[in-house]
Structure 1
């Protein structure tokens, strides 16, 4: 099933960021294809902090361009929202959102095969990028987070390519539902047990199991606003 067509591919280099000692590659620019994509992501793309960004389970970040109009309604006509790349995404499309994909979906794009492995957990770097102190929290609450692919088979990506749904093993777990459990129904034991039965990335497995065992929600403040050393 055809899901969408890639409209833009974007990459960025890691550079010093807004707070002392920090680096980021959130500022992405459009590149012409074909662009090789391997297990660690697109050729020419970098991450500023490999502890929390990049790696095989965050190889490629996809963000729906139609979300931009909703953000403009909320935030006004910011120059940052005039074109794709505001959220550090690698792939920009129209007509495909968190409601249209499920955790574990496998997509074919040319020779490459991509697996939807997690939604984005927004961090404080969005606050600084937009100049809005609670932008990361707004993204989290909105459900317009974007998502990450794991690269199952390397290949090359380029604008104009179709994203084809090849396999959907967990049709009950749309990304929208995942986000609801993560950030709204945070201690819903039934949903957490069901989510825990899926092949989650290690960080999510740890998060879900901790909630089930401790019946508490993890502290989001460092992720959303940064540590004391970064303020």
Structure 2
């Protein structure tokens, strides 16, 4: 086992109105007390649209605090960036990024045991949150999306906890590498077959299968821009 990072903060949110008649719990706040974690995530956290958010494969979203300075440089002063939680994360981390964790990594945080399940596919609600219609697109293009954990063993997580790598069955497949192939629009059969051999979550696996079968890319406009419209 190896310490690879630490928890800066834990965060939870409640469902509230967002825009265009939609609701969201993306506006999360730092919790000073340790947070109890079950199979669907932190018990005090909510999700508005459970078709796309939450669930066992996306129980916890983690976001590296290192990315904040890069976003300041990219988009300038934005009030949302003034506080941790800008990206709707449940865990703010220090020490690792999407390039440092691999699919199916088993991670111990506090008394929980977690498994890296997938990268994040950012959606248009980030555009609303940042008042910038290409924010979701930028997260996707830069691979600065954070990633999701599946909960293998529930427990509690708190500020200052070590993030410990317990097992790494796929050391050649970082979350960044997988996202780079998918988000770049890869149609190369050889690489897609390699991705096919990985234990991807069902939605990502279907995407890879469809590309191999059809040699066509998906239309991500509804997810990335939604009612905000393209910039």
TM-score by length of 2: 0.96
Distance 1:226-1:213 versus aligned 2 partners, 3 A rule: same
The CA deviation at 1:68 is 0.5
Alignment of 1:77-88 (within 5 A): 77-88=77-88
Q: Deviations over 1:160-202 (max 9, x none)?
A: 1111000101011011111110111521221211111111111
User: Matched residues in 2 for 1:11 and 1:186: separation?
Assistant: 35
CA offset digits 1:23-71 (Å, max 9, x no partner): 1000000002321000000121011100000000000000011100000
Runs of 4+ in structure 1 deviating by more than 4 angstroms, as ranges, are none
Q: Which residue pairs with 1:130 in the alignment?
A: 130
* 1:120 aligned partner: 120
Give the drift of 1:228.
9.0
Q: CA deviation at 1:17?
A: 1.4
Give the total of aligned pairs: 228
Q: Structure 1 stretches of 5 or more lacking a match?
A: none
Structure 1 residue 83 displacement after superposition? 1.9
Q: What is the TM-score with the length of structure 1 in the denominator? A: 0.96
**Which residue number corresponds to residue 67 of structure 1?**
67
Q: CA RMSD in A?
A: 1.3
Q: Which runs of 5+ in 2 are unaligned?
A: none
CA-to-partner distance for each residue in 1:125-163, whole Å, 9 max, x for gaps?
000000001111011001101000000000000001111
- 1:12-161 alignment to 2 at 5 Å? 12-20=13-21, 22-161=22-161
